């Protein structure tokens, strides 16, 4: 890479954000991690090492997002890649979900990417270069956890809208939709007990053609592709990195007829 490109990863203190930051750093980018949890974000930046640094950012607050983006631009001058990864997941079903929980999920997972993307677009337009990458989910296809699924489906739709609107400035927008990711000890988006994790992992694996959970590296590899120069003509896509977990199950009798 002649020019050192800058990659901003939201939710950078979390399990996947760290993995994405580490992969993109290996690929030569300057990494900036942003998270609501400032001290965990600094720890994650130290773990990744090199010139990686953390900034505090609450993706649900326009002033917080705008001041964090200003600080990043003051320090490193550009933002080439934005990975909208910050997200929350509350196990819910529609009947029992309260309004506040619904609002919180949509605020972080959908409004957050809108605010962060809106804040970085002027710099990307000026550069005439940008890569917007959203972390969504295969969950929107299968039902279950309706507020979460709706927030991620909305983010896929925003991605298509960005792809359409920003192409004139050489800005692409794509989404990576993971299946269930192998949990990092101490970092579980669902705060499950080890027993609950085991049970839900078994269920996910039994429904996944490539009989395993996703690793952070699986997801980070797809992000690295969308971030790369060679993906410059790919925009408006959602790539499932889910081992086939997104596919409807085969007919119960399929194997009988083979
Ligand atoms: N873990 C999975 O199995 C899985 C599967 C599919 C998609 N995803 C998606 O991947 C992304 C990362 O998930 P993860 O497993 O690393 O979860 P995680 O809980 O480990 O990380 C999420 C991070 O987002 C941060 N965050 C939450 N609210 C924020 C806010 N308002 N502002 C800024 N940061 C905020 C948290 O502090 C945390 O560091 C999420 O968008 C999630 O929906 C995860």
From 133, 135, 189, 214, the mutation candidate for ligand 1 (largest count of ligand atoms within 8 A of CB) is 189
The architecture CATH gives domain 6-244: 3-Layer(aba) Sandwich (3.40)
- Please state, in angstroms and rounded to a whole number, the distance separating the CA atoms of residues 183 and 240: 19
Mean local confidence (pLDDT), 60-85 = 98
Question: What is the distance in A from the centroid of ligand 1 to the CA of 108?
Answer: 9
Residues in contact with ligand 1 by the CB-under-6-Å rule are 10-11, 13-17, 35-37, 57-60, 85-89, 108, 112, 135, 137, 178, 180-181, 187, 189
Nearest atom, ligand 1, residue 12 CA: 39
Tens of pLDDT, residues 186-211: 778 788 888 888 898 999 999 999 99
pTM: 0.95
Per-residue confidence band for 46, with pLDDT thresholds at 50, 70 and 90: very high
Residue 170 Cα to ligand 1 middle (Å): 28
Q: Which pLDDT score is estimated for 188?
A: 81
Report whether pLDDT(148) > 50: yes
Q: What's the pLDDT score for residue 91?
A: 81
Q: Rounded mean pLDDT of 134-159?
A: 93
Range with the lowest mean pLDDT among 26-35, 89-98, 128-137?
Answer: 89-98
Between the CA of 13 and the centroid of ligand 1 the distance, in Å, is 9
CA distance 122 to 89: 30
Q: What is the pLDDT of residues 161-173, one digit of tens each?
A: 999 999 999 999 9
Helix axes 99-106, 146-166, angle to 10 degrees: 30
1 pLDDT exceeds 80? no
Catalytic residue, candidates 129, 148, 225, 253: 148
Contacts of 132 (CB under 8 A, 6+ apart): 82, 84, 117, 159, 162, 166, 171, 172, 173, 174
Query: Is 148 among the residues known to form the active site?
Result: yes
Name the token pair of 255.
Answer: 């194997």
CB contact set of 215 (below 8 Å; sequence gap of 6+): 181, 182
> What are phi and psi for residue 193, nearest 5 degrees?
-70, 160
| Average pLDDT rounded to a whole number, residues 231-255 | 88
Tell me how far apart the alpha carbons of residues 174 and 163 are, in angstroms, rounded to a whole number. 8
Q: Does position 29 have pLDDT exceeding 60, yes or no? A: yes
Burial per residue of 148-169, b for 16 or more beta-carbon CB atoms within 10 angstroms, e otherwise: bbbbbbbbbebbbebbeebeee
Which secondary-structure segment (H or E) carries 30?
strand 30-35
Contact 177, 240 (CB under 8 A): yes
CB 86 within 8 A of CB 32: no
The continuous run of DSSP H or E covering 61 comes out as none
């Amino acid at each position: 890479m002649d020019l050192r490109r800058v990659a901003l990863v939201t939710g950078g203190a979390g399990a996947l954000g760290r993995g994405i930051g580490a992969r993109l750093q290996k690929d030569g980018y300057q990494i900036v991690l942003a998270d609501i949890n400032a001290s965990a974000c600094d720890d994650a930046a130290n773990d990744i090492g090199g010139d990686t640094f953390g900034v505090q950012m609450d993706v649900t607050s326009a002033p917080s997002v705008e001041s964090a983006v200003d600080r990043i631009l003051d320090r490193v001058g550009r933002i080439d890649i934005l990975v909208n990864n910050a997200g929350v997941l509350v196990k819910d079903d529609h009947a029992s979900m309260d309004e506040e929980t619904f609002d919180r999920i949509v605020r972080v997972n959908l409004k957050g990417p809108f605010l962060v993307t809106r804040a970085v677009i002027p710099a990307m337009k000026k550069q005439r270069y940008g890569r917007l990458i959203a972390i969504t989910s295969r969950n929107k296809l299968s039902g279950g956890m309706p507020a979460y699924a709706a927030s991620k489906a909305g983010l896929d739709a925003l991605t298509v809208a960005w792809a359409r609107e920003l192409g004139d400035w050489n800005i692409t927008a794509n989404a990576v939709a993971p299946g269930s990711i192998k949990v990092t000890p101490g970092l579980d988006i669902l705060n499950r007990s080890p027993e609950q994790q085991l049970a839900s992992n078994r269920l996910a694996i039994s429904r996944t053609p490539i009989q395993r959970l996703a690793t952070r590296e699986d997801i980070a590899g797809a992000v690295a592709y969308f971030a790369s120069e060679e993906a410059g003509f790919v925009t408006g896509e959602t790539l499932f990195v889910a081992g086939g977990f997104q596919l409807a199950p085969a007919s119960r009798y399929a194997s009988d007829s083979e």
